[in-house]
Amino acid sequence: MLSIILRTTLAFFVLMILTRLLGKKQMSQMTYFNYITGITIGSLTANIISTSSESITDEITGLLWWVFLVLLIAYITLKSSKLRIIIDGQPTILIRKGKLLKNTLKSTRLNLDDLSMMLRTKDIFSIADVDYAILEPNGQITVLKKQAQLNVTRADINIPTVDPVYLPSEIITDGKVVKRNLEEFGLTYDWLKSQLKTMGIDNIEDVFYAEILGDGKLYVDRD
More confident residue, 121 or 37: 121
More confident residue, 5 or 183: 183
Average pLDDT over residues 180-207: 90
Average pLDDT over residues 174-178: 88
Per-residue pLDDT at 8: 81
Residues 124 and 198 in one domain: no
Per-residue pLDDT at 140: 87
- What would the pLDDT profile of 129-145 be if each residue is shown by its tens digit? 899 999 988 788 999 99
Per-residue pLDDT at 142: 93
Question: Domain of 37?
Answer: 2-87
Report if residue 161 sits inside a domain: no
Which residue among 87, 107, 136 closes a domain? Answer: 87
CATH of the domain at 185: 3.30.240.20
CA distance 12 to 49: 9
Contacts 24+ apart (CB under 8 A), 47-56: 48/7, 48/10, 48/11, 48/14, 49/4, 49/7, 49/8, 49/11, 51/7, 56/7, 56/10
Residues present in the chain in total? 223
Is residue 146 within 8 Å of 98, Cβ to Cβ?
yes
Residues 40 and 9 in one domain: yes
Per-residue pLDDT at 138: 79
DSSP assignment of 23-48: -HHHHHT-SHHHHHHHHHHHHHHHHH
Residue 48 pLDDT > 90: no
Which residue among 38, 61, 87 closes a domain? Answer: 87
Task: Write phi, then psi, for 145 (nearest 5 degrees).
Answer: -70, 160
Report if residue 203 sits inside a domain: yes
- What would the pLDDT profile of 148-170 be if each residue is shown by its tens digit? 777 776 667 777 777 778 888 88
Report if residue 205 sits inside a domain: yes
Sheet (strand 218-222) strand order: 176-177, 169-173, 207-212, 218-222
Question: How many separate domains does the chain show?
Answer: 3
Most confident residue range from 46-50, 131-135, 183-187: 131-135
**What percent of the chain is modeled with pLDDT above 70?**
92
Is residue 212 within 8 Å of 171, Cβ to Cβ?
yes
Per-residue pLDDT at 141: 92
Residue 29 pLDDT > 70: no
CA distance 88 to 185: 24
